[in-house]
Amino acid sequence: MSDRSALYFLEDARARTFEPFASTRPVATLAAGSAAIWNRWSAALQLPPEGVVAAPALRDFEEASTPGVATSGILPAGSVLANSRFAPALEMIPWRGMPDDARGPRSPDADAASWRSAGRVAAIRLSRDVRVEEIGDGATLDDLLSKDRTSAEITGWWHDEVWDFIRHLDDIIADDIKRTREHRFLRRRIEQHWPVPSHVTVLGDHPVIVHGSTPGEEWVKPAVIEPHVVLDATAGPIYIGSETHVRAFTRINGPCYIGRKVNVLGGEITGCSIGDVCKVRGEVAHTVFLGYSNKSHDGFVGNSYLGRWVNLGASTVTSNLKNTYGNVALWTPSGVRDSGMQLLGTMFGDHVKTGIGLRLTTGCVLGAGANVYGAMPPKVVSPFAWGDAPPYTVYRKDKFVEAAERMMKRRDVTMTDKARRHWSAVHDARWTAEAKDS
């Protein structure tokens, strides 16, 4: 087998149903816990990502620092192909393709041809060149795995439904920060250069990591935490990234991960994963912000997932618990289904905008690019819907792109020609709730 090593991701048939995200981005780019799935695999195998085998409709998907979509070409023998729905733990997986300085002592699993978790294949090492065109919509890793080849067991979490990103959230965040804290290299940096400011109130015994200044990396600005902030690590650890600003009278309850350049403007944040360059205020619980999204005002958001470039109007509120205390049902492309979860809020697709005072029902799905306001919307709103009540009008493609460009420019991000093609294609191929439910 070739020693050439590259990392690819397979979006299988189930991943391609994870709406409202799958029609706009590869599932591999979704955050599971504190990091995107592609990033977790890259860290575990010490390999740069090369591409995602995804639906052809995503061919022009482009986002800074994320792998692109491979719709043609060859995956060379020796490459690793990982399932996009599996989030490996943040630990190195020793294998033959790993750089010698990262691998450490020789492991008996180093020559494994596949990696499994909970009895299922999570990733394989290709024994031959595979053309992307060979991998159909329903392909699985088992289809590409040669028989009678060695396998190693790894730790991580399967995401079989889109709501599993919420189901596993607390456990993954806690495990991520614990592993960061125990990593022999990172631990030394944390102990020497990441002290919690003395004016911050810390409760509980779990680790609290606040990114400070590091000698030799002066260009990375430390996190700023104002007085009268409470970091409660009683229920789990807390991580606050560089250049993040936490204002006075904020309470952060672990397990909680807050990334880089986040503005926490006050309120109570519990069990959340907040990606880079977000603004957050108010009561937020057990929710993922993928990044570059804003909740700058009061209003409860719980057990929800916000894609990129989401903006919630003042006093937008999600319901995450039914009055009957029963399981929450969520719309999916195969119909409304029982999630098996008692607490589940709203899935916000990329570029969703909500109006002032919008109330969102328990288990709501807002399609990408939707701009809704006024009355409480139904359990599912189609992509690029516009208005205050059904039947919604369709957000004009040119107007959507124009508004998206303006929002991105405010965060110093430029929409490229490729991204414009992507969003134009997404708009043209938009699904409707009625069509998907039929």
106 pLDDT higher than 90: no
CATH number at 212 reads 2.160.10.10
Domain-terminating residue out of 128, 160, 192: 160
The closest of 133, 96, 135, 141 to 116, measured between CA atoms, is 141
Copy the structure tokens of residue 16.
Answer: 């391609």
Alpha-carbon distance of 69 to 104, in angstroms, equals 32
The closest of 75, 100, 83 to 5, measured between CA atoms, is 75
The closest of 160, 142, 168 to 15, measured between CA atoms, is 160
Least trusted range by pLDDT, from 58-67, 207-216, 380-389: 207-216
Do 328 and 403 reside in the same domain of the chain? yes
Least trusted range by pLDDT, from 147-156, 161-170, 315-324, 370-379: 147-156
* pLDDT, the chain, mean: 91
Alpha-carbon distance of 108 to 92, in angstroms, equals 14
Q: Is the pLDDT higher at 219 or at 357?
A: 357
Local structure of residue 321 (DSSP, 8 states): B
Sign of CA dihedral 199, 205, 210, 216: positive
State what percent of residues in the chain have pLDDT above 90: 79
Alpha-carbon distance of 62 to 178, in angstroms, equals 32
Copy the structure tokens of residue 275.
Answer: 């990606």
What pLDDT does residue 310 have? 98
Domain-terminating residue out of 131, 160, 189: 160
Residue 155 belongs to domain spanning: 7-160
Do 224 and 112 reside in the same domain of the chain? no
In sequence order, which residues have a C-beta less than 8 Å from that of residue 279 and are 6 or more positions away? 262, 263, 265, 294, 295, 296
**CB 39 within 8 Å of CB 52:** no
What pLDDT does residue 102 have? 52
121-146 pLDDT per residue, tens: 999 999 899 999 888 777 889 888 87
Alpha-carbon distance of 378 to 390, in angstroms, equals 8
340 pLDDT higher than 80: yes
Do 224 and 315 reside in the same domain of the chain? yes
Give the residue-averaged pLDDT of 293-317: 98
Give me the number of domains the chain comprises: 2
Domain-terminating residue out of 160, 182, 216: 160
What pLDDT does residue 435 have? 39
- Tell me if 186 is assigned to some domain: yes
The closest of 169, 116, 166 to 145, measured between CA atoms, is 116
Do 95 and 227 reside in the same domain of the chain? no
- Tell me if 2 is assigned to some domain: no
What pLDDT does residue 87 have? 98
Query: Would you tell me how many other CB atoms lie within 10 Å of the CB of residue 215?
Result: 8
186 pLDDT higher than 80: no
387 pLDDT higher than 50: yes
7-33 pLDDT per residue, tens: 999 999 999 999 999 999 999 999 999
State what percent of residues in the chain have pLDDT above 70: 90
Do 319 and 182 reside in the same domain of the chain? yes
Copy the structure tokens of residue 159.
Answer: 């995401």
221-241 pLDDT per residue, tens: 889 999 999 999 999 999 999
Give the residue-averaged pLDDT of 319-336: 97
